[in-house]
Structure 1
Amino acid sequence: MSSRTSSIERQKLIGKILFYLGNFIIGIIFVSPLLWMLCASLKPEAEIFANMNSIRTFIPTHASFNNYIEVFTRLNILNVLKNTFCYIALILVGDLFLNSLCGYALAKFDFKGKGLILNLVIALMVLPMEAIMLPLYIEMSQLGWVNTLQALVIPFIPKCFSIYMFRQFFSDIPDELIEAAYIDGSGHIRTFFSIVVPISKTVYATVFILDFVAHWNDFMWPFLVMTGEEKRTIQLAVQVFFGTQPVHYSAIMAALVISAVPMILMFIFMQKYYVEGIASSGIKG
């Protein structure tokens, strides 16, 4: 009996070792491009593409911060980061506030046309940005919003995916909890902000992360509507290094590292809420 127990425990131990080893290998594969980019940003131009077939490509033998100095010299990086954080913050505030209210209404209120609106929200989720980019740009031009903050922010506050995420999460909140608040004299608005919002941190964090990543990486729309150099976002600023001859890939790597740091830090600190939010609202019907 003890031999059989020992054999089972050994098999469990081997299985656990293989599981973690497999996860480690997969993690290294996914992280390796980021590691290579970081190492390349510390190398001189002549060494970036050397030793690409060996592990030495991840080892900067003549490491220096000259590439980062070049980035800060050629770009007003603080102004670029300020522009990017400003417009993303405005989108996030509008998204989390308005779309959560819409999701709550679709989850907990009964009104005529509710099913039609929900179906329309789901249908519009599959509409790609490329399909509406041209008419949206024409609309911004006619409103005189080209090269203004409004063109970056206002079209992207309403989001069907965010509404759907909030609706799915709020649907799982017990009706009895909300009814108890009504019995205590709380109105709809007070109930939402005092009862629903505090217990919905995971879905708010999920929408926050998805929105932040999407707009931080957005290039095409800012490229169309932001024509002034003083209003560049981070992705437009990085493009400067690709469009200036000769192309210095070492400086490009340094600029890309700078642009990636905020996303990495955000996900590190908020990954717990992100995973919980996806599990609780993203896959339930």
Structure 2
Amino acid sequence: MEKNRTGKKILLYVITSLLAVIFLFPLVWMIMSSLKGDLLIFRDMTSFRAFLPPLPNEIDGGYFQNYVMAFERVNLMRYIMNSLIYTIGIIIFGLIVNSMAGYALARFNFPFRNFWLAVIIATLIIPPESIFLPLYVLVFNLGWVNTYTGLIVPFIANAFAIFLFRQFLLDFPRELEEAAKIDGCSQLGIFFKIIVPLTKPVFATVAIVLFINHWNDFLWPLVVANDDSMRTIQIGLQYFMNQPPVQWGQVMAALTVATVPMLIIFIFLQRYYVQGLAHTGSKN
């Protein structure tokens, strides 16, 4: 019996490792291609050398020449800063607003609580593109076009994030809150001094989800931020790829730069991310 369990675990680890390697192939190919010229990229396309760096004698100008040229051709640093301000702004304000909403739905008994929860969940099925026109009209009338406010404010509240916070907090022990109330702590004090520090996994989970979603946003920044100084990285990449002549090594370098922030966020928060996903479905 023990041998069967060990065999199944080994098989599971082998399968998951193979899947991980397969999923990493496009990322490795992109990074290796960013170090090569166009001729080398197309030459290695049909061989395993596509996943290997070029030899020193195969490149001119050093391994990072494509990165230097990409930053010189377009204002990639500005696009990256715009995306960071956009996504980090949504994350900071979103964590505050959505965590408070989730806490209220999990703890407070107010009229039509379940109805409002159902309404919030129902908004998940509405395609975001279907509300972009009225949302743009509102942002335009407020004078928020080509501003960080117009990019950030419409997406601070997030139904999925509220649901995750609510599910996680349903499993949070009430005894700690009751003890804090006895000690004279206010409701806001309980939230910020007890709830927030002890619910890091769900905060990390929501932060990762929001970062990935909005770092990859294309349509809304394209509509609201049409000035070059306000372009986000995804819009900048599209502009770069449409700018002749197309140098695929430089394109791969720009794509690699755009991918690095997501990898950094996930690597540093992955432990909390797994814990958050494991707990959010524990209660209904």
- TM-score, length-scaled by structure 2: 0.92
Q: How does 1:1-285 map to 2 (within 5 A)?
A: 14-61=7-54, 62-63=58-59, 64-282=63-281, 284-285=283-284
| Whole-angstrom CA distance in 2 between matches of 1:142 and 1:92 | 25
1:67–1:282 Cα change, 3 Å: farther
Shift of 1:11: 5.1
* Partner SS state of residue 111, structure 2: coil
Give the AA of the match of 1:207: V
| Whole-angstrom CA distance in 1 between matches of 2:80 and 2:92 | 18
Structure 2 unaligned residues grouped into runs of 5+: none
Give me the CA root mean square deviation. Answer: 1.7
Range 15-24 or range 152-161, more displaced: 15-24
Quick one: percent identity of the two aligned structures? 44
1:283–1:68 Cα change, 3 Å: farther
* Partner SS state of residue 48, structure 1: helix
1:113–1:237 Cα change, 3 Å: same
Give the AA of the match of 2:13: Y
The 8 Å contact of residues 241 and 248 in structure 1, kept in 2 or not, is answered as no
Give the AA of the match of 2:69: E
1:188–1:57 Cα change, 3 Å: same
* Partner SS state of residue 185, structure 1: coil
Aligned residues: 278
- TM-score, length-scaled by structure 1: 0.92
| Whole-angstrom CA distance in 2 between matches of 1:244 and 1:51 | 25
The 8 Å contact of residues 161 and 206 in structure 2, kept in 1 or not, is answered as yes
| Whole-angstrom CA distance in 2 between matches of 1:161 and 1:17 | 35
Show the counterpart of 1:5: none
Give the AA of the match of 1:33: P
| Whole-angstrom CA distance in 2 between matches of 1:125 and 1:282 | 17
The 8 Å contact of residues 74 and 240 in structure 2, kept in 1 or not, is answered as no
Structure 1 unaligned residues grouped into runs of 5+: 1-7
Give the AA of the match of 2:246: V
Give the AA of the match of 1:156: F
The 8 Å contact of residues 212 and 262 in structure 2, kept in 1 or not, is answered as yes
* Partner SS state of residue 89, structure 1: helix
